[in-house]
Amino acid sequence: MTTLASISRRTGTRFVSSLPALLGVVVFTFILMRVLPGDPAVFFASGPNAGKAEIEEVRRLMGLDQPLLYQLALYLRDIATGNLGRSLTTGQPVLADIQQRLPASLELTFTALVLALTLALPLGIAAALNPGKLVDHAVRFACTLGVCVPTFVSGLLLIYAFYYLLGWAPDPTGRLDIFAQAPPRITGFLLIDSLIARDGTTGLAAASQLILPAATMALFVLAPLARMTRASMLAVLGSDFIRTADAMGLSRARVVGVYALRNAMLPVLTIAGIVFSTMLGANVLVEKVFSWPGVASYALDALLASDYAPVQGFVLLMASIFVVVNLTIDVLYGIADPRIGIE
Amino acid sequence: MTTSTLNHVAYVLRGNLVTAAAAAGTALLIAVAILGPWITPYDPIASNVSIALQPPSFAHWAGTDQLGRDIASRIIAATRLDLLIAASAVSLSFVVGALIGSLCGYHGGRVDRWIGRVVDILMAFPLFVLAMAMVAALGNRVENIIYATALINLPFYIRFARAEVNVRRNLGWVEAARASGNSHFQVVTHFLLPNILPAMAVQISLNLGWAILNAAGLSFIGLGVQPPTPEWGIMVAEGARHITTGKWWLVAFPGLALMLAVLCFNLLGDGLRDILDPRMRT
């Protein structure tokens, strides 16, 4: 009970202390978006021949004729009431657009993270069990290569290999083939939705679209995960309780797989959290290569069309996810290692 | 560099062929960047549509692109621009970051807390998106890619320098420097900064690779460098349209150049760490 209390207290303090950073992000984004070039009023007036009066009207409508501080205050009030503004390119409220597109990004990022972890954990453990041996060097080499290939290159080469050469993957655009019937939207995650609808064909189609972009991202984040697993496993394997467990005659598999791995997971957890939040923001490139209808490509399109509101909404969303992920990791840490709560 | 340092470098390079290869690769990259315009077999921006999209051959060993330009020439010509962007961005963030960070770490107090808070805010941003927004805000020019890349690197340098100075500021030799009449600013710039430089060199080398990836990523989505300027990221972006019809060489060769450049800097960074800090050797 005391552990639980201390975890929630810690979480509370962390949450409160992350609020100023969140506010800073909001203000900074606001300023950044206001210095963007191009007058959006001109852009969104009826056309290049729009009259002066019409442009003034649009500007008034968008609140661009007000003082900057007043605009900021209005913006903060809007955020507090859950109003992220309206995207001028799609004509939808930004919040609705983001809700529509976030599941696509989350599904991609989660799959990539799971894929990366299932690869990285065995590789890291194998390297830690044979330090300095061939396996160790091979893993290190693979990791070093992985971070050197930009995602937009590896993604395109994967398309070449699996779509053009082998013909295994479907046309690499979007989440679902245009002829396929999307499952009824419940969670927005196509894999889960088609599972709920018991629609195996759609599920398979969605999975086959998902696998290449997810693999592209997984390759890029493999290195930090595998390296951290290796380092953390090495440290744990050298500790006293492992020697004791060995001396007690426990099987090697049990010592490594249960005693060592459980204790080595904490730093890996931290890195996995960081990787998750950076991937969500950095998958602009992957989403662009695979025409993935996620939030990052939404923000990019808006940015190129000098449409402020979606970019602001996106950055705010990313910063919030960052805070939430950090908090979640804190809580998980407290559960996984009760000693942390006591200090 | 004293003889013993040189001996140590030679010893590490002999024992670590990977680092030696990385150093050689980096030297080669720099040579190509300098000699670029003189060693391209063809004009990198002269188009000739009659030989468009040809696969690698003896005449064009990396093939030609959709306008019939020689890809090998374009890759060679792009080296200078890509390295220049990365090097300027990293040196900018290094100089500014090391100075701010070490002054913070030395001085402490309220300024330190406020700068720490700003750094926290910067790091809560999705960094690539921040760079995208900055380039869009400042205008689609090469120097703005440099500023954007420098800005998103800055928090790491500030934190690093701050932490390194913070552990040193109460050591005997710092007090001695202060006692012998140096101003606070001089203590930081003449004593503390040189002392943390080796640790930062590793950071710089690793960062160069990251900066190259970042700049190429920005031009891949159409920000920064504009066509027809040869640049690795743009070349990949232009080739992306032809990948589903099997024209792999448009993407593979510029991608390979990117990969090799990043690989060299990363391996060199790891090697530098071995040379500068023998304790870290694993």
What is the tens place of the pLDDT at every residue in B196-239? 887 788 888 888 888 998 889 988 888 878 878 888 888 898 88
Instruction: Say which CATH number the domain at B118 has.
Output: 1.10.3720.10
DSSP A316-336: HHHHHHHHHHHHHHHHHHHHH
> B129 to chain A nearest CA, in Å?
7
Residue among A144, A300, A306 whose CB faces B221 most closely: A300
Q: Is the pLDDT of residue B183 over 90?
A: no
Both A285 and A189 in a single domain?
yes
The pLDDT of residue B84? 92
CB pairs under 8 A between A and B: 147
Same domain, A124 and A102: yes
Q: Which of A44-53, A135-144, B29-38, B170-179 is predicted least confidently?
A: A44-53
B59 belongs to a structural domain: no
Would residue B50 count as lying in a domain?
no
Q: What is the pTM of this model?
A: 0.83
Determine contact, residues A96/A309, Cβ cutoff 8 Å. Answer: no
The DSSP H or E segment spanning B158 is: helix B142-168
Residue A61: partners with Cβ closer than 8 Å, 6 or more residues away: none
Domain carrying residue A48: 1-89+305-343
Looking at the 3D structure of chain A, how many domains does it have? 2
Chain A residues touching B121 at Cβ < 8 A: 21, 24-25, 28
Residue B82 structural domain:
3-43+67-281
Flag whether residue B264 sits within 8 Å of chain A, measured between CB atoms: no
Q: Is B55 on the interface with A (CB under 8 A)?
A: no
Contacts of A152 in chain B (CB under 8 A): 217, 220, 233, 236-237, 240
Structural domain includes residue B55:
no
Regarding whether A126 and A201 lie in a shared domain, the answer is yes
- What one-character DSSP code corresponds to residue B56? P
A320 and A224 in a single domain? The answer is no
What digits encode the pLDDT tens for the residues B84-96?
A: 999 999 999 999 9
Straight-line distance from the first to the last Cα atom of chain B, in angstroms, rounded to the nearest whole number: 24
Per the domain annotation, does A187 fall within a domain? yes
pLDDT for res A116: 93
Mean pLDDT value across residues B137-158: 87
Tell me, what's the pLDDT at A341? Answer: 53
**Are A132 and A230 found together in one domain?**
yes
Could you tell me if residue A273 is inside a domain?
no
The CA distance from B42 to B75, in Å, is 11
Tokens standing for B18? 């990977």
* CB proximity list for A248: less than 8 A, separation 6 or greater: none
Give yes or no: residues A157 and A231 share one domain. yes
Pick from B9, B29, B34, B4: nearest CA to B274: B9
Per-chain mean pLDDT for chain B: 83
**Under an 8 A CB cutoff, do B262 and A147 touch?**
yes
User: Are B243 and A323 a contacting pair at CB < 8 A?
Assistant: no
**Residue A326 counted as domain residue:** yes
Residue B206 to residues B23, B55, B271, Cα–Cα distance (Å): 13, 34, 10
- A62 and A137 assigned to the same domain: no
The reply to whether A299 falls in a domain is no
Whether the pLDDT of residue B282 is over 70: the answer is: no
The total number of structural domains that make up chain B: 1
pLDDT (tens digit per residue) in B42-77: 778 777 778 777 778 877 777 787 777 888 888 888
Q: Is residue A209 part of a domain?
A: yes
- Which of the residues B82, B120, B121 would you substitute to probe the A interface, choosing the one with the greatest number of A C-beta atoms within 10 Å? B121
- d(CA B102, CA A70) in angstroms, rounded, equals 37
Residues forming beta bridges with residue B70, ordered by sequence position: B64
Determine, for residues A156 and B263 on separate chains, whether the beta-carbon distance falls below 8 Å.
Answer: no
Q: Check whether residue A193 and residue A320 sit in a common domain.
A: no
Q: Verify that A236 and A114 share a domain, yes or no.
A: yes
Could you tell me which of A130, A148, A107, A147 has the C-alpha nearest to residue A280?
A107
- The reply to whether B275 falls in a domain is yes
User: Which two tokens mark A223?
Assistant: 């290195």
pLDDT in tens, chain A (343 residues): 566 677 777 777 777 777 777 788 788 777 776 766 555 565 555 555 666 777 777 777 666 777 777 878 877 887 788 777 777 778 788 888 888 888 888 889 999 999 999 999 999 999 988 888 888 888 888 888 888 888 889 888 988 888 888 878 777 777 777 666 777 777 778 777 777 877 777 777 788 888 899 999 998 888 889 988 998 888 888 888 888 888 888 888 888 888 888 888 888 888 888 888 778 767 888 988 888 888 888 888 888 777 777 888 888 888 788 778 877 877 777 777 766 654 4
* Residue B51 forms part of a structural domain: no
Whether A132 and A164 share a structural domain:
yes
B139: chain A residues, CB-CB within 8 Å: 37
Separation CA A125–CA A234 (nearest Å):
9
Q: Cβ(A195)–Cβ(A90) under 8 Å? A: no
A78 shares its domain with A107: no
Interface contact B246, partner A, CB < 8 A: yes
Whether residue B61 lies inside any domain: the answer is no
Decide if A278 and B126 are in contact by the 8 Å CB cutoff: yes
Interface test with B, best of A148, A164, A292 (most B CBs within 10 A): A148
- On whether any CB of chain A is under 8 Å from the CB of B266, the answer is yes
Q: Is residue B54 part of a domain?
A: no
Cα A281 from Cα B214, distance rounded (Å): 13
The answer to whether residue A140 sits within a structural domain is: yes
Residues A19 and A167 in one domain: no
The CATH number of residue A178's host domain is 1.10.3720
Confidence of residue B137 (pLDDT cuts 50, 70, 90): confident
A14 touches chain B (CB under 8 A): no
Query: What pLDDT sits at residue B280?
Result: 47
B207 part of a folded domain: yes
**Residues of B whose CB is below 8 A from A148:** 209, 258-260, 262-263, 266
| Greatest Cα pair distance in chain A | 86
Query: Which contiguous run of DSSP H or E holds residue B35?
Result: helix B17-39
